[in-house]
Amino acid sequence: MKNESMYGYPFSSVLYRIFILFTLFIVSLLLGVVVTPLFFILSLLVFPTSFYVLISFKNKFLEIRRKIINDMIEQVELQGDEKILDLGTGSGYAAIPFAKKVRKGVVIGIDKFDLKHKTYYQNFRDKIKINFFGNSMKNAKSNASLEEVQNNVSFIKSDLTKSIPFIDQSFDVILSSQLLYCISSNHLNGVLYEIDRVLSESGSLILFESLSFMNWNIKDVQNFFEKKGYNISIIPLEYLKNKCILVGRKS
């Protein structure tokens, strides 16, 4: 049995670093063949360097993640008895800290976890996310137990692009961390409608997202909820380029 929580790392960030290190290795190897053996020796140094880079990334990432969650918590005045929904909960790294703040309330983390897809590519991609990065229901439940919040946090499987499986106005707070930008544009509005449906009359949104990414822009989310009558604030993060926390309150 493990004795330390495991919350994984962002898929894109890890792949980006592996790609850069692999590219450096190949370039050094080719230069060693074409120019001078010195570059071949340098290519061998890429491997120990890669371990140092990834370990440094791990430590820095965990520190930044704690700061993000603390900043998200500070954006809502929790009374301790709220019902909170964490969308795309993964290993529970946002749900669990919020659960510690609402000991008389409840937090429900929802994710597709290991639900199967139709294509081999989608299955392969999700197996990496689940097995290597810890995004499984089993891991989320284990983390909740290790963090001693298993009595007021639970995790369920569901595909958010189809529906959120709760009745209207079920939750006081809905939160997510870099979920919405992963949702395809043809499904995004449907997910936002579902978020609005299950959020209570005076409920709050706390969303950590990229400001922009390829065809994604946080302004689209802002515009959607403002048209629904929400008061929306977008808070850029000085310590994390191109990231923000969107705070929304039903009015």
The pLDDT tens digits of the residues spanning 177-223 come to: 989 988 888 999 999 999 999 999 999 999 999 999 888 999 999 99
Look at residue 53 in the predicted model and tell me its pLDDT.
58
**Among candidates 44, 5, 51, which has minimal Cα distance to 26?**
44
Task: Quote the pLDDT of residue 64.
Answer: 85
Q: What is the pLDDT of residue 120?
A: 47
Show the beta-strand stretches assigned E in the chain: 83-87, 106-111, 153-157, 171-177, 199-210, 212-213, 216-217, 230-236, 243-250
∠ Cα 43 44 49 (to 5°): 90
The pLDDT value recorded for residue 20 is: 64
Quick one: 240 exposed, middle or buried, by C-beta within 10 A (0-12, 13-18, 19+)? middle
* Cα–Cα separations (whole angstroms), residue 155 to 54, 89, 117, 139, 158: 30, 8, 20, 10, 10
Q: pLDDT by residue for the chain (251 residues), tens digit each?
A: 456 666 665 555 556 556 666 776 676 666 666 666 665 566 566 556 665 555 566 667 778 888 999 999 999 999 999 999 999 998 898 999 999 999 999 999 999 876 555 554 555 555 555 445 567 788 889 889 999 999 999 999 999 999 999 999 999 999 999 899 888 889 999 999 999 999 999 999 999 999 998 889 999 999 999 999 999 999 999 988 899 999 999 87
| This prediction's pTM | 0.77
